Chain A
């Protein structure tokens, strides 16, 4: 007669390289609807952080408003967190990144939070190439406010309300590529074998890493006629390639047929091994990625996997020429120029 997560865990669970077990990355018990895709994404985040042996205190999770934005409570209880206002996660993250460039930033948002009220924030986060992972838990509706169609709902898609959606959808992944995001991927909450390596790759990436995760709202948008339901998405799934995250030191052991495997390098030395690559797609070629997305839309495919990864990109701190040391650790001494320096500067202006 209770709803408390027992404290017992599997007795043989291993620990990762920094000595933490998976449970050390868990959060409070979820209060989302049972079966909500967002919970699976939380599970994938826990799994990815555990496997990457991230020390929880080295990560900050930030979110806006929505069921999706509530999820940071349900993972990484030992990490920093900031639950901001609707659509404002990017600007809060911008400030945090400015203040402390040393943390890993994980922004969590919804399709409403990003594609409607937060759209302005979203595009500027991309332009600034903030060094963060930006996950949109995309269910095509405003789950928290009872399922109204969101800006990512497909034309004609029918949610529980029963009225076909009259507007064209915004494809956040396509838009991110268009705006110059340096890492863009799409995935599905129901496919952790793909989602976990993508999250790990996104965390290894320096710069703005965007993952649009289709995440069914089991309560308001999982009915026949919806294009964001579990069965519709599963029936229409198509991947650019199967992905394997390969940590820095590990050799790639799996090898697929000639011409079907590629290996893309990430900034920290780790790699994404891509198998069974779709024809006419090169992860480093923005045009091919956009074209592939258009083909997918025409064929009514839900195209997942890595979509685009830029080879070289400058991030926010590089644009701003800030010092390497996190700004929040600079002391008065570091910040206030000495009399001599001040004199020299003044002399320059005379």
Chain B
């Protein structure tokens, strides 16, 4: 193998599993250390820089960081990264002193932001301090998009959302609410320098051809429309017996909301097996805790309506069969159909993009499923001044993805407005490495690896929370528990940096490493090397760190990054400081930052 190029900013980025997995690349270990130090406001700001909505995301994020967390590879469960983010938001002081403060000197450029969800708000947050005049339009009464219309208050209190949407709008955004943009042609006709489309994926899936669908329309609802109607208090109750169709997170929000609006027997029915349900495991768990049964392998066959009144739904029984190519088919088992009574049915079977307001002769091309044709890096559409982001860009995802798109689109819009090339002139991320040695057995980070298992977030009593849809179910960690949970973090951003010329091949690092990461051996191809290491190296997603040939034996040092605990013992034991622990900070470039990659090795 070739020696690893640690000057490549992406090399160590991959080692920080959580940050790498986060679409917005939030420096997770950095904020977790700040929480452990009770510096909640600073921890909040680290988040705010990266993901704009720490309080919201600390409650609702899809948390791709957690399955990626290294801790999950050395013990049972990852660090509660998401819930620690909430801790920063819960215990911070007023963060506004640390935020950019307008009015900002105008740069003469005007941008339209269509839609007021997390994607548009992120573009606004990034561009406002640069002096852009920002006009944001949304058909809802307040900003936040689906964070407001879809995510129920028992998961996300309105006050948290208002606060964080407010921080963005207060930067001087001209927001126009209750305004549905009906024509892109009209927007283009105005003097905007660029237009950002962040209108989400607003069309809820339906079962238009299922028998009976249109026979009792008042009691058969589209899940996301119904949730929005609940959020804006147009709907305040539901029948006693409710069926929710679908196995995703929307279905989980629908059934739990129904429980709070008078649903006593709420049942989720999913056409496919439990294991393949799209909903996050914790959402499923929360629904089940609220006495909501989940029935699987039952596709709906018919809405049973008698005399104009909904009676229930008839379901077929199927089983999942996989062919050689791994494709799934749901095959009827031949068992009798199942009838379930219902007063109301909520259809929660997916979402789609929909752009009825964008005329198709403007030069904005659309591809399959009515998704715009975009450059995946710049988010620029085929009409250069129009950019897309969030669910509007790639179909329904989640908030953190919308935020990540927003950052990238803001960079593009800034470059575009400054006459630069949106692809070629994109600035590289900034990275730096900072030496952590402070003395004998002393490092600039807490390298004692806590053995604690993951702490659970306490919940409000069920009876109470089912009574009021606005009461938040999760109570969040208290500071003491937050500290203990924070201590579970392995500080994967404190990197093991190897200096070949210093190594005397004494094996001290090999002998001390608790997780057998280090091997000195003759070089070879990666496939072969992976079979010759001190411990099995089967996780191909994790890199092998390879040194230059060593002075005394011409062997190389190979470190499997997979389960390194970042405990620093290799550096502690190394007599020549050939190993050093260096804190690596990777920051995604933001709009307005010049091209400055610094790497201090």
Contact = CB atoms under 8 A, between A and B. Distances in A.
Nearest to B569: A5
A295 B451 CA distance: 55
Interface stretch (A31-39, A60-68, A271-279): A31-39
Contacts of B446: 1-2
A2 B507 CA distance: 21
A3 B504 CA distance: 23
Contacts of B552: 230-231, 234-235
Nearest to B450: A6
Interface string B438-461: 000111001111010000000000
Which one of B448, B505, B506, B514 has the highest number of Cβ atoms from chain A below 10 Å of its Cβ?
B506
Interface in A36-82: 36-37, 39-40, 42-43
B515 interface: yes
Given A12-B536, A35-B574, A43 B511 contact: yes
A216 B576 CA distance: 14
A234 B520 CA distance: 15
A58 B283 CA distance: 52
B508 A7 contact: no
Contacts of B508: 34-36, 39-40
Interface in B509-540: 510-512, 514-517, 535-536, 538
A35 B511 contact: no
B515 A231 contact: no
Contacts of B511: 30, 39-40, 42-43
A25 B159 CA distance: 56
Contacts of B515: 8-10
A320 interface: no
B441 A11 contact: no
Contacts of A34: 508, 572-575
Contact of A230 (B441, B506, B563): B506
Chain A, interface size category, equals 35 or more
A6 B551 CA distance: 31
A336 interface: no
A230 B538 contact: no
A8 B449 contact: yes
A240 B510 CA distance: 27
A192 interface: yes
A13 interface: yes
Contacts of B73: 11
Interface of A is mostly: loop
B535 A1 contact: no
A4 B574 CA distance: 16
A35 B578 CA distance: 11
Nearest to A39: B511
A42 B508 CA distance: 11
Contacts of A190: 505-507
A40 B506 contact: yes
Contacts of B442: 1
Nearest to A2: B448
Given A12-B536, A12-B538, A13-B535, A5 B575 contact: no
B567 interface: yes
Contacts of B75: 8
B235 interface: no
A35 B510 CA distance: 10
A218 interface: yes
Given A34-B572, A40-B506, A231-B504, A2 B516 contact: no
Given A2-B448, A35-B506, A9 B514 contact: yes
Contacts of A33: 575
B74 interface: yes
A10 B563 contact: yes
A1 B507 contact: no
Which one of A1, A6, A34, A190 has the highest number of Cβ atoms from chain B below 10 Å of its Cβ?
A34
A254 to B, nearest CB: 16
B269 interface: no
B254 interface: no
Interface string B30-67: 00000000000000000000000000000000000000
Interface in B533-567: 535-536, 538, 551-553, 563, 565, 567
A8 B514 contact: yes
B444 to A, nearest CB: 9
Interface in B432-487: 441-443, 446-449, 451
Nearest to B441: A3
Nearest to B71: A8
A13 B562 CA distance: 13
B505 A30 contact: no
Contacts of B517: 10
Interface string A187-223: 0011010000000000000000000000010110010
Interface in B558-592: 563, 565, 567, 569, 572-576
B506 A6 contact: no
A6 B567 contact: yes
Contacts of A192: 507
A280 B380 CA distance: 78
B582 to A, nearest CB: 17
A85 to B, nearest CB: 28
A239 to B, nearest CB: 14
A13 B446 CA distance: 27
Given A35-B508, A218-B575, A231-B552, A7 B447 contact: no
A235 B7 CA distance: 33
B491 to A, nearest CB: 12
Interface string A222-258: 1000000011001100000000000000000000000
A35 B504 contact: yes
A230 B596 CA distance: 43
Contacts of A7: 449, 451, 514
B573 A6 contact: no
A34 B573 CA distance: 4
Interface in B370-405: none
Nearest to A235: B552
Given A9-B516, A40-B507, A231-B504, A1 B536 contact: no
Contacts of B507: 39-40, 43, 189-190, 192
B441 A8 contact: no
Interface of B: 73-75, 441-443, 446-449, 451, 504-508, 510-512, 514-517, 535-536, 538, 551-553, 563, 565, 567, 569, 572-576
The 4 closest A-B pairs by CB, nearest first: A35-B575, A6-B449, A34-B573, A2-B448
30 contacts: A1-B441, A1-B447, A2-B441, A2-B447, A2-B448, A5-B514, A6-B449, A7-B449, A8-B74, A8-B451, A8-B515, A11-B74, A11-B563, A30-B512, A34-B508, A34-B575, A35-B573, A35-B576, A37-B506, A39-B508, A40-B511, A42-B511, A190-B506, A190-B507, A222-B504, A230-B506, A231-B504, A234-B505, A234-B552, A234-B553
Given A6-B449, A190-B505, A216-B506, 4 more contacts: A6-B567, A13-B535, A35-B574, A234-B505
